[in-house]
Each structure stands twice: as structure tokens, then as C-alpha cells.
């Protein structure tokens, strides 16, 4: 009669009197010598003893084999019996102890099944072990559904082996002995390895493509040799440019393209670009300043930040050694802070560790030949595929969307592998499906975190994981469907994830409209999977504060820390609607304040003083001063002419200066500047030829690699708006050129096949990213928040004067969103609850990356540089964003008590102009000849461009 018995064993160790010589601490105590263990199962003797143990349930059997696998609950051959195991142990001193324990790999009280556990105390509901020995119990193991017999010596010992090449020595193999009457799986808990849950901190500052010069021209501007004469005649029938209508109603400001025409003929076209398109399957323009860029830059292994999760293609390396996708989430207590500034007491930076592989989704088919490709690249999403070989079918596809509640892998017949670089503490399969067809696993990791894995199969069998070792679990067969990973933030979050599992977003449809001073924008999530379930997406703080009532009601209590934008909350909804009720429709070209509105009138004394300065400014050689080797320095001359006409009322002088400005602008519109623009079809955009000519990726501030386009082109767009305002007849001949610049940085529609949608402005984050096609570990970044809003203001004003109502409305909405988001993420008052308390004393971010915030600049660490880069340029919309409360706190922290006098050059002009927003008289006193801030010098105005 054949008995089918199943037994379990733990390998018990003894604590040596002498600790490890290197004093290293491990997750469990490490003992360098295995004890000899003899096992009797159900009263029958074990087959062998040795450094590790082979166990059989029938001593009459002459065959045994060893495999590396585990057994899912409920599979054929599973038994609910709990055989006792008698373990006799012999210590080094020769004494013996006998222990009877109960097998622990079975259903828990709630019906769940623990597939693996390295716990050293009895599980809940389990009978405690009675022993005169160590008191440890066996790790939880599950029986196998298959019986494999191979000839083997019954006295040979089983050594740690694995049927899979793990590619990583920092794991421990599961040992399973199988014969016709018994199966044993062993995973030692006391091993000489450490959980890698701390990650690494990049210490080298990125340099490629980053500007290292000041954003101000520091060479002296010669004084004019003679003053300009007002020679222009003022036409009596000059038409007026369109003005903004406060009552305008636009139903969907994102629907229509600006244009679908090719770039103007004076812009040459070429198909090459110095940055290759690595693994990109999409045709047409590609977003160059997006969260997913690292997947096709460098060696494709730098993280992409979804918020709150980050994902990394480990490419066979890192803590897990996976060839799949590594998923990470960093809590606030894992951050690293820089030294405290002696003056403010605030940390100089904070950064989140990278390289933590909490949970990895892979497949057995993936290995050294794996290639990563990117497709369906949009402004919010991308589809990343892992293929076993070049040209092969996708084994796993990852639809990555900003704010994703789950990281989702789509399998089409591959054999899933779930890995971790932190190591499993327990792996449990829920006894009940989360939904029909959705299997759920709980992964408790050695760092104390809990991750949930949901598997929704669309055909074939459900996901059946077997634990191979404490870093790896494999499916028993191919899988068709999706596997989703989420971090459980607390005990209640699992219930929320259960509601949303099986559904995932693959993209976002952006729409919006305005009605007077109220604007709204909507994220409509394109979803797949179980369509009846809501989409789970994380909302950032600026979303939460602007949600309409319907969306606010769908916010759950599930929250996770983001890398640099506070705490995100999970929302279960197929769409979000955000509302802004203070669109800056009343802000035009003239000075503006929240209290007084638009300021037009000047006293006679102020008018006289300003006119004298203005005459000096417009008498300078604009044509020569604008002839620079960078687009960034060349588009900042128009405001003084606007003041002359609209505030001083001198139309003749204004038109005389305007004619010179038109000539200077024509050099660029005709593409005759030092480094002409080119349209390159590799990525789809208009770039400086500087890097093509010089071979230097950082030339022209990296413009050729798509750095800073909204800064560079924003100044030209604003200049064009002012020219068009002063002379509407100029618009038709120049509209195509200016619109080309607008389309490059802020194209709203995929119908435009020449430019990607929203290159710079990120509607999920609520601000722009300046960083272009350069691979960096900390993701995208932006330095100047004020120039970010300048670009939005430029779009608003060009849309207004050119008659593009949609563009004007988008500019207004962007400014309102930025006023909200920047005051959470970039500009810090004492009441800020988003950024770390020990960082908000810096008052401004400095450089904000996706993964860190560094209170510095790329061109120097002077405090006026760091604070000033978030001030310049000072424009009518500035008080809307840089609010009085913030400006006062910043001034008191850094520049009060005479410290402003220590600032020199153009930076003092910026600083005192900013001070004027809280003390208009004090600001005027400085610029009119002295007072607070010290003596003013006219050359600090940088040729009228600040």
C-alpha cells in the first residue's frame, strides 16, 4: 500500500560563542556552521543527514530527487493533514535534543495560504513549538503537485541548488526533495546576506547639457553716443490689436491645433539628431522633456518617476538582478538631507535613494538578450515593452501613466517571475479572489513593507506562483493577462486596491474650457482591463486643492509619499476635473497688482523720470545687442517700448524705437542669427544649430538637445506679442514664425504632425520641465519657476494679440495652475505643508528634480543667484504667482537689514524690483537714485532686458 505523506523541515542552527569576525549585522543572525539534523516524519526515519537535509516520508523508497520549486495552495495532491515532524539535533558538543513541531505551510485562519515565510515565531493561530532546543519553527513550505523520481543514493545530502540560473549570488536557494511518498522544501532563514533596502544616492552632479553661465549678460553695455530722435510719424488710422474679452466662453481649449503647416521655408529641415532614438517604435514627434525619456536615453537603466512610484529597467543588474522592471517607492524617512545652511538653518537639499528593487515584474523568457522598446508615447504616458531578443514579440508590456495607482505588466503567454532585491519575509496567496478571475498575493518584505500583487487572467490558468528563493517566485506556467503591483500603505488600503484591481490606465485625454475668470481642465483616463472597475490614480497636492465636488468625493484614504511633491492620495475615478476660479484675465501688458489691478496712470514726477531713463535705453543699439550666440539672450527688448507708448504716451518715440526692434527681430524671423534654427525630424522640433556646428551638447544652454525651449522661445513669443500689440499690421507676415515657436513648446494637439504635444508644460505636475535629451538618475528638472510662468504669460499675450482665443485661454489657465502648484513645490512660506519642514526655510526650491530638490543653481551658489532665478523676469503677472506673503518672508530671511546692499550687478536690480512688489515706494526710490538697497547704476538693467 502506497502512502502519500507530506512533511516539512526547517534547518536549525546554533549560535556560536564568537560572532562573525567582521561584526556584520544581518536580517537574521548568521551562523557559519550548519547543525546536523536527523528527521523522522510520521514516525518513519529520514533518508539522510548532512549540511542540508533530504527528507522522504517512506524509508522503503529507494529513489529521491531534488528540485527548486514551491507548491501553490489547492493544487492536485494537496492534503490538509498536518503531519508532525520529529527533529533530532546534535550540537557541536555532542548533546542531543528532540523537538516535535507542526507543519506551518497551510491555510491561515482567514483561509489564505502562506507560500513562504522566514518568520522565527509561530504564525497566528499556530500551536507553539514545545522544545528543549532553540524553539525555532520550520519555514512555511507548500507541497508539490507533481512527483519526480530519479535514481539517487538515499544517503547523499542535498546541497542548495536551483533549476534556474538566478544571475544573483545575493539570494538563497529553496531546496525541495521529492519522492513518491513525500516532499520537503527548505529555505534557510539565517543566511550571510543583507536586504538591500537603502538604495544609493547619486553624488556626481550632472553636467552634460547644463548651463554653467549666468542668465544675465555680464559684459558692459556701452552708453549710447547720441539719443534717438522721434522720427516716426504716427498713423491716424492705426488698427488696434485684439484685446482679451473677460466674458469669453471656450468649450474645449485643447481641441484644435495651432497649425498643421510645415515650419516656414526659411527654417531648413534635417532628419538626424545627435541623440539617437534608442528602441523607439513610435513614428512621428516624440516628447523630449517627459518622465519616460530615460527609457530611450543612455543605457536605458535610469529610473522613470511616475509619482509616487518609480520604475527602472534593471537590465540584469542592481539589487535584484532582474531582467524585468523594478518597482520602487520611497518613504519620507528614507530621504537623505544635505547640511543645514548656517544662515537659514534649512537643509541645502534633499534626495531620495535610487536602486531599491522592492518588487520586480519579469518573465523566465527574459535574459541577457532582452531589449527594451518604447511605443505610444504621449504627453502623459508611454508603453514600454520587454522583448527576449531584438525583433522578438513583447514578453511583457508596461503601460506607464503618470500617477498610476498600480504598476501594471501585460503578459501574453510569457511565464511570469516576481523578484525582489529586499527579500521576501512571507509570500501569501489569498484564499479568495479579489474579483472574479483576479488572484491576489501579499508580499511582506524584509524592510517591513507590504506589497500587493494582483493577477487578472484573460485566458488560460490564473497566476500560480511558486517561491524559488527569498528573492524570486515563478509562475508554474504561461500567463495571459495583467499583473498589477501596489504598495499597501496601511491595513485599510488593501480594501481600496481590491476595488480597483483589474483595471488600468493606458493614457490620458486632456480637455478643458474657460468661462470668464473660471477655467477647468479634465483628465479622462483611457482604460483597459475590467472596464466596470474605476481607474486608480494618485493625485498630487495641487490637484486635491482644485478638484471639483464630484472628483473630490472619489478621493480615498490611501496615500503615499512622492519623491518631491508631498503626499499623493489615491483617487478611484475614470476622470478628474480641476477648477481654477481666478484666471488672470485682467492682466495685460501693463503693471498689475492684486489690490489695484492694472496700473496705467503715473504722476508727473514719475513720468518725467521714467521718460529720461527710457530715452537712454531705446537709444542703445538693439541690432548689435541682440546679435548673440544664444536664443536665450536675444529676445528681451520690447517692454521699454511698451512703457513709452502705453504709460508715457509718447507714440512717436515708441514707434521710432519699434522700427529698430522690428529689424532686430527680423534677423531671427529670417533665420540669420549666429546659430540659425533647424527643424529636425529625429524627435520633431525646432532647435538651435549650435550643437550641430560645435559638437558641444551644452552649446546654447543645450537648446539643440531640447533644454529650456520654453525659456528661449518664450522671450521671443512675448516680444512678438508686444510688437503685435504696438503694430497689429506686423502680425500677418510674422505669424507663421512665431506660431512655429509656440507649437514647439506648447502644441496642444496630436493633429499637428510636426511637433509633440506639450513638450515643456506638464499638466500632471502643474509646471514645466526644462531638461531635455540627457539621461539623468534624478529625472527631469527645472531651475527657473519665474521663467516658466513667463512662457505661459507669453502664450497668453500672443494668443490675445494674434486673435487665437484658444491659445489665450490656455495661457490664462496655465498661469492659474502654476500659481497654485509653484506655491506648493517651488516657493515656500512658513505655512507650506507639502515640502519637508526642514527645507522650507530655503524659501525657494533652487533646482527641482523629479527625485530631489537642491537649493542651488547650475551657474553658482550665491544666494542672490538661487533666489533671483525664481524672480526674473519681473512682468505684470509676477505678483499673481509670487505673492506678498512669500516675498516678505523671503526678503526677511535673506535680504533685510542691509544685506541687499551686498548684492551687486544686475542681480541687485532684480532683487529690488522684486522688493517693489511688497513696497512699491521703496522699489521706486532704489531705481530713481538710491534709498534701500544702495546706489543704483543704470548699466545693471542689462540693456533694458531685465
The single-letter DSSP state of residue 285 is: -
CA–CA dist 914, 431 (Å, integer): 63
CA–CA dist 258, 296 (Å, integer): 29
Active-site residue among 168, 365, 379, 787? 787
Structure-block grid coordinates of residue 900: 541687499
Structure-block grid coordinates of residue 862: 550665491
The single-letter DSSP state of residue 602 is: -
Residue whose grid cell is 549710447: 224
* Cα Rg of the chain (Å, integer): 33
Three-point CA angle 634, 637, 643, nearest 5°: 165
Is 783 an annotated catalytic residue? yes
Task: Provide DSSP, 136-177.
Answer: --PPP----SS----B--TTPPPPS--SS--S-SSS-B-EEE
Three-point CA angle 759, 671, 681, nearest 5°: 40
Residue among 880, 881, 933 nearest 910 (CA)? 933
The single-letter DSSP state of residue 185 is: E
Residue whose grid cell is 557541536: 92
Is 787 an annotated catalytic residue? yes
- Map residue 371 onto helix, strand or coil: strand
Residue 917, phi-psi category: left (phi > 0), alpha (psi -120 to 50), beta (remainder): alpha
Check: CB of residue 877 under 8 Å from CB of residue 815: yes
Close Cβ partners of 881 (under 8 Å, ≥ 6 residues apart)? 785, 786, 789, 815, 818, 819, 822, 823, 827
CA–CA dist 519, 811 (Å, integer): 11
Q: Work out the end-to-end distance of the chain between its first and last CA atoms, rounded to an integer number of angstroms.
A: 95
Close Cβ partners of 678 (under 8 Å, ≥ 6 residues apart)? 267, 268, 269, 270, 686, 687, 689, 692
Active-site residue among 708, 727, 788, 889? 708
Three-point CA angle 265, 269, 274, nearest 5°: 155
Three-point CA angle 320, 323, 326, nearest 5°: 55
- Map residue 314 onto helix, strand or coil: coil
- Map residue 865 onto helix, strand or coil: helix
Task: Provide DSSP, 525-554.
Answer: EEEEE-TTSPPEEEE-HHHHTTB-HHHHTT
**Torsion (CA) 443, 444, 448, 449 in degrees, nearest 10:** 20
Strand 480-488 and strand 407-412: pairing? antiparallel
Which burial class, exposed, middle or buried, applies to 707 when counting CB atoms under 10 A from its CB (0-12, 13-18, 19+)? buried
Check: CB of residue 140 under 8 Å from CB of residue 117: yes
- Which helix (H) or strand (E) is 375 found in, with range? strand 371-375
Structure-block grid coordinates of residue 418: 516576481
Is 96 an annotated catalytic residue? no
In angstroms, the Cα distances linking 4 to 180, 672, 705 are: 7, 87, 67
Check: CB of residue 847 under 8 Å from CB of residue 857: yes
Active-site residue among 617, 752, 783, 850? 783
Which burial class, exposed, middle or buried, applies to 248 when counting CB atoms under 10 A from its CB (0-12, 13-18, 19+)? middle
Structure-block grid coordinates of residue 635: 529676445
CA–CA dist 591, 607 (Å, integer): 14
Task: Provide DSSP, 378-417.
Answer: -SSEEEEEEESSTTPPEEEEEEEETTBSSEEEEEES--EE
Structure-block grid coordinates of residue 147: 512527483
Active site residues: 708, 783, 787
Amino acid at each position: 500500500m502506497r502512502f502519500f505523506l507530506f512533511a516539512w523541515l526547517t534547518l536549525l542552527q546554533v549560535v556560536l560563542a564568537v560572532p562573525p569576525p567582521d561584526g556584520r549585522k544581518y536580517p537574521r543572525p548568521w551562523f557559519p556552521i550548519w547543525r546536523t539534523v536527523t528527521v523522522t516524519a510520521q514516525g518513519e526515519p529520514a533518508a539522510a543527514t548532512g549540511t542540508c537535509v533530504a527528507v522522504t516520508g517512506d524509508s522503503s523508497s529507494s529513489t529521491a530527487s531534488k528540485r527548486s520549486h514551491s507548491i501553490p495552495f489547492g493544487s492536485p495532491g494537496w492534503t490538509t493533514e498536518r503531519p508532525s515532524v520529529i527533529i533530532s539535533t546534535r550540537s557541536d558538543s555532542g548533546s542531543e535534543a528532540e523537538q516535535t513541531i507542526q507543519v506551518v505551510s497551510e491555510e491561515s485562519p482567514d483561509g489564505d495560504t502562506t507560500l513562504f515565510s522566514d518568520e522565527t515565531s509561530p504564525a497566528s493561530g499556530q500551536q507553539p513549538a514545545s522544545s528543549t532546543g532553540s524553539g525555532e519553527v520550520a519555514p512555511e513550505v507548500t507541497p508539490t503537485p507533481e512527483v519526480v523520481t530519479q535514481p539517487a543514493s538515499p544517503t547523499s545530502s542535498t546541497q542548495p541548488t536551483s533549476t534556474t540560473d538566478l544571475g544573483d549570488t545575493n539570494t538563497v536557494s529553496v531546496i525541495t526533495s521529492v519522492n513518491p511518498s513525500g516532499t520537503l522544501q527548505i529555505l534557510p532563514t539565517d543566511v550571510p546576506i543583507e536586504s538591500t533596502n537603502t538604495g544609493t544616492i547619486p553624488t556626481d552632479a550632472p553636467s552634460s547639457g547644463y548651463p554653467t553661465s549666468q542668465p544675465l549678460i555680464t559684459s558692459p553695455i556701452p552708453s549710447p553716443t547720441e539719443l534717438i530722435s522721434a522720427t516716426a510719424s504716427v498713423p491716424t488710422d492705426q488698427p488696434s490689436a485684439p484685446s482679451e474679452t473677460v466674458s469669453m466662453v471656450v468649450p474645449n481649449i485643447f481641441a484644435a491645433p495651432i497649425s498643421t503647416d510645415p515650419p516656414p521655408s526659411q527654417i531648413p529641415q534635417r532628419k538626424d539628431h545627435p541623440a539617437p532614438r534608442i528602441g523607439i517604435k513610435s513614428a512621428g514627434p516624440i516628447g523630449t522633456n517627459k518622465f519616460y525619456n530615460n527609457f530611450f536615453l543612455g543605457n536605458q537603466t535610469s529610473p522613470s518617476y511616475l509619482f509616487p512610484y518609480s520604475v527602472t529597467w534593471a537590465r540584469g543588474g542592481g539589487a535584484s538582478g532582474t531582467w524585468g522592471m523594478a518597482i520602487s517607492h520611497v518613504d519620507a524617512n528614507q530621504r537623505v538631507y544635505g547640511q543645514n545652511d548656517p544662515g537659514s538653518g534649512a537643509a541645502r537639499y534633499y534626495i531620495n535613494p535610487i536602486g531599491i528593487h522592492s518588487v520586480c515584474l519579469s518573465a523566465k523568457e527574459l535574459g541577457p538578450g532582452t531589449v527594451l522598446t518604447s511605443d505610444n508615447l504621449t504627453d502623459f504616458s508611454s508603453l514600454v515593452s520587454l522583448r527576449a531578443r531584438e525583433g522578438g514579440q513583447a514578453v511583457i508590456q508596461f503601460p506607464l501613466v503618470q500617477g498610476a495607482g498600480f504598476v501594471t505588466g501585460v503578459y501574453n503567454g510569457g511565464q511570469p517571475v516576481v523578484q525582489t532585491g529586499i527579500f521576501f519575509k512571507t509570500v501569501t496567496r489569498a484564499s479568495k479572489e479579489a474579483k472574479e478571475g483576479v488572484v491576489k498575493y501579499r508580499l511582506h518584505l524584509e524592510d517591513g513593507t507590504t506589497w500587493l500583487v494582483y493577477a487578472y487572467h484573460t485566458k488560460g490558468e490564473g497566476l500560480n506562483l511558486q517561491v524559488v528563493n527569498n528573492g524570486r517566485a515563478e509562475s508554474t506556467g504561461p500567463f495571459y493577462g495583467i499583473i498589477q503591483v501596489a504598495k499597501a500603505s496601511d491595513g485599510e488600503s488593501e480594501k481600496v486596491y481590491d476595488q480597483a484591481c483589474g483595471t488600468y490606465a493606458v493614457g490620458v485625454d486632456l480637455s478643458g474650457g474657460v468661462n470668464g475668470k473660471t477655467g477647468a481642465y479634465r483628465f479622462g483616463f483611457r482604460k483597459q482591463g475590467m472596464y466596470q472597475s474605476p481607474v486608480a490614480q494618485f493625485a498630487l497636492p495641487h490637484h486635491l486643492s482644485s478638484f471639483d465636488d464630484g472628483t473630490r468625493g472619489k478621493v480615498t484614504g490611501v496615500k503615499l509619499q512622492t519623491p518631491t511633491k508631498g503626499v499623493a492620495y489615491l483617487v478611484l475615478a475614470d476622470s478628474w476635473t480641476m477648477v481654477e476660479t481666478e484666471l488672470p484675465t485682467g492682466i495685460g501688458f501693463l503693471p498689475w497688482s492684486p489690490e489695484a489691478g492694472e496700473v496705467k496712470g503715473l504722476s508727473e514726477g514719475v513720468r518725467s523720470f521714467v521718460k529720461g531713463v527710457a530715452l537712454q535705453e531705446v537709444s542703445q543699439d538693439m541690432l548689435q545687442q541682440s546679435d548673440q550666440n544664444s536664443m536665450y539672450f536675444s529676445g528681451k527688448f520690447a517692454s521699454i517700448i511698451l512703457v513709452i507708448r502705453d504709460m508715457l504716451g509718447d507714440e512717436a518715440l515708441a514707434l521710432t524705437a519699434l522700427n529698430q526692434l522690428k529689424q532686430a527681430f527680423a534677423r531671427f524671423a529670417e533665420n540669420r542669427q549666429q546659430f540659425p534654427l533647424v527643424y529636425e525630424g529625429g524627435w520633431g522640433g525646432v532647435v538651435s544649430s549650435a550643437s550641430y556646428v560645435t559638437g558641444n551638447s551644452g552649446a546654447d544652454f543645450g537648446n539643440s538637445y531640447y533644454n529650456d525651449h520654453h525659456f528661449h522661445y518664450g522671450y521671443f513669443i512675448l516680444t512678438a506679442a508686444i510688437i503685435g500689440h504696438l503694430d497689429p499690421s506686423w502680425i500677418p507676415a510674422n505669424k507663421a514664425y512665431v506660431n512655429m515657436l509656440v507649437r514647439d513648446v506648447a502644441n496642444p494637439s496630436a493633429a499637428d504632425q510636426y511637433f509633440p504635444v506639450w513638450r515643456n508644460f506638464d499638466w500632471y505636475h502643474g509646471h514645466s520641465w526644462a531638461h531635455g535629451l540627457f539621461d539623468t538618475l534624478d529625472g527631469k528638472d527645472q531651475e527657473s519657476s519665474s521663467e516658466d510662468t513667463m512662457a505661459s504669460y507669453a502664450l497668453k499675450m500672443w494668443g490675445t494679440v494674434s486673435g487665437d482665443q484658444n491659445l489665450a485661454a490656455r495661457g490664462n489657465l496655465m498661469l492659474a495652475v502654476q500659481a497654485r502648484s509653484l506655491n506648493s513645490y517651488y516657493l515656500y512660506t512658513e505655512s507650506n505643508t507639502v515640502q519637508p519642514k526642514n527645507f522650507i526655510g530655503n524659501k525657494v526650491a533652487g533646482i527641482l528634480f523629479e527625485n530631489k530638490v537642491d537649493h542651488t543653481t547650475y551657474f553658482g551658489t550665491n544666494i542672490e543667484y538661487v533666489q533671483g532665478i525664481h524672480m526674473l523676469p519681473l512682468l505684470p503677472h509676477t505678483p499673481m504667482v509670487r505673492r506678498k506673503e512669500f516675498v516678505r518672508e523671503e526678503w526677511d530671511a535673506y535680504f533685510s537689514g542691509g544685506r541687499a546692499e551686498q548684492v551687486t550687478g544686475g542681480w541687485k536690480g532684480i532683487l529690488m524690483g522684486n522688493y517693489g512688489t511688497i513696497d512699491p515706494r521703496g522699489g521706486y526710490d532704489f531705481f530713481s537714485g538710491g534709498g534701500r538697497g544702495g546706489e543704483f547704476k543704470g548699466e545693471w538693467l542689462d540693456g533694458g532686458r531685465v
